Structure 1
Amino acid sequence: MFRKQIVFLSVAATGLFMSAQPAYSSGECSASTLNGTYSFSAHGELLGILDTSVSPPALSPLTTPIVIDGVALQKFDGAGSFTRTDFLNTNGSPRGGQTAFNPNQHGTYAVNPDCTGTMHIVYDSGAILDLQMVLANDARTIKAIISAETVPSFPTSSGKTCDASTGGCSIGVQVSLDGQRTHDRDRDRDH
């Protein structure tokens, strides 16, 4: 009897495994896949100023990279735009003397059919971040890295500087972000 149960369970498990489909197969992700609020954590380093006039861009490194940690809430509208609020620490202190969350951010995003995509974040300070992202776990999880960061000005201890008169500063960064879908009362009530 026990052996028959094992065989039955093995056959049932094999059938379930064979019929399983990926959460999002090719052609199933789009901008509407991201609709609602996500919480993000960020961790990484600012490495220095990038000279983008050469290919590949050359890094003018900081003497010591600046460690970044942050948290954010980001609300996607399902149509390619979002609003965002964040709080960042750099080298163990609130960035720029920040004492509260900065809610003055917005941006756009695009999602490809294969569940990869991009984000473009604009801060009220003039900083702009471009990210590459992957949606996972039925779009409940977002993994991203900053692929480009531009700020109005940025001095380095090596003496290399840039500012708004030169078109802003491209910053060399190594920062990753992890996002998780949060409980969204409005969305839950509508479904």
Structure 2
Amino acid sequence: MKSKRLFVLSATALALVSIGNMAWADGGCSSASLRGSYAFSAVGEVIGILDDVGVHPFKTPSVLNDVAIVRFDGVSHFSRTDFGTINGVPKTPDFNSDQSGDYTVNANCTGTMTIRYTSGVVLDLMMVIADNGTVVKAVIGTETVPASTPALDGTTCGTSCKQAVRVSFDGKKVFDARDRDWRTGSQ
């Protein structure tokens, strides 16, 4: 009898957790789902110049690695500090805190994020939010740069050049004293 009660309680708990997770995925997200600090890592490569014709590959893709802290305001804006390398060479000698951007979150826990560097680089990301807003997965949809090296076929671009990239971002909510208690959501 005791084991039957334990089984029923376990099954009930599992059902409640499953229903809660379905509710989150079925409309539990908004811009407020992202509030506080998140640690991100990004890995990928810059493939070539992207235009209306398609991708014009570089002779050799540039390998990109990056780590960042992103602080979301819970409304639609964020600040970002990162350190990255391209082909193993640091982009800057230290962390770059001169980044900001905007984000949107849809009810189905998908969204967009636009990262703006003061150098003129703009990254447009497509993202999904999981685990009650504690995990963010994203990929760069487009990367706009002020200038680019020529592609293998000789294609060049002027200002506001779009590059084809294959870069994914993984982010996780982290404790930050400015967040007070991120586990309960109180600020």
Structure 1 length-normalised TM: 0.88
In structure 1, distance between residues paired with 2:16 and 2:41:
35
> Does 1:76 pair with 2:68?
no
C-alpha displacement at 1:16, in angstroms?
1.5
User: Which letter does structure 2 place at the counterpart of 1:87?
Assistant: F
Report the counterpart of residue 11 of structure 2 in structure 1.
14
Q: Confirm or deny: 8 A CA contact 2:137 2:171 kept in the other structure.
A: yes
Report the counterpart of residue 113 of structure 1 in structure 2.
107
C-alpha displacement at 1:169, in angstroms?
1.0
Report the counterpart of residue 167 of structure 2 in structure 1.
175
Report the counterpart of residue 155 of structure 1 in structure 2.
149
Q: Confirm or deny: 8 A CA contact 2:110 2:129 kept in the other structure.
A: yes
Greater Rg over alpha carbons, structure: 1
Q: What is the root-mean-square deviation in Å for CA atoms of aligned residues?
A: 1.5
In structure 2, distance between residues paired with 1:46 and 1:186:
35
Gaps of 5+ in 1: none
In structure 1, distance between residues paired with 2:143 and 2:59:
19
C-alpha displacement at 1:157, in angstroms?
5.3
Q: Confirm or deny: 8 A CA contact 2:37 2:179 kept in the other structure.
A: no
> Does 1:60 pair with 2:56?
yes
Deviates more, 1:106-115 or 1:151-160: 151-160
Structure 2 residue matching 1:99: 3-state secondary structure: coil
User: Which letter does structure 2 place at the counterpart of 1:22?
Assistant: G
C-alpha displacement at 1:71, in angstroms?
0.4
Question: CA deviation digits over 1:55-111, x for unaligned, max 9?
Answer: xxx11001111110000111111110011111110111112xx10111111100000
In structure 2, distance between residues paired with 1:180 and 1:126:
27
Structure 1 residue matching 2:11: 3-state secondary structure: helix
C-alpha displacement at 1:25, in angstroms?
4.0
C-alpha displacement at 1:163, in angstroms?
2.1
State percent identity of aligned pairs: 41
Question: CA deviation digits over 1:143-165, x for unaligned, max 9?
Answer: 0000111101001352322121x
Structure 2 length-normalised TM: 0.89
C-alpha displacement at 1:11, in angstroms?
1.8
In structure 1, distance between residues paired with 2:133 and 2:20:
12
Structure 2 residue matching 1:162: 3-state secondary structure: coil
Aligned length: 179
Deviates more, 1:27-36 or 1:14-23: 14-23
> Does 1:186 pair with 2:172?
no
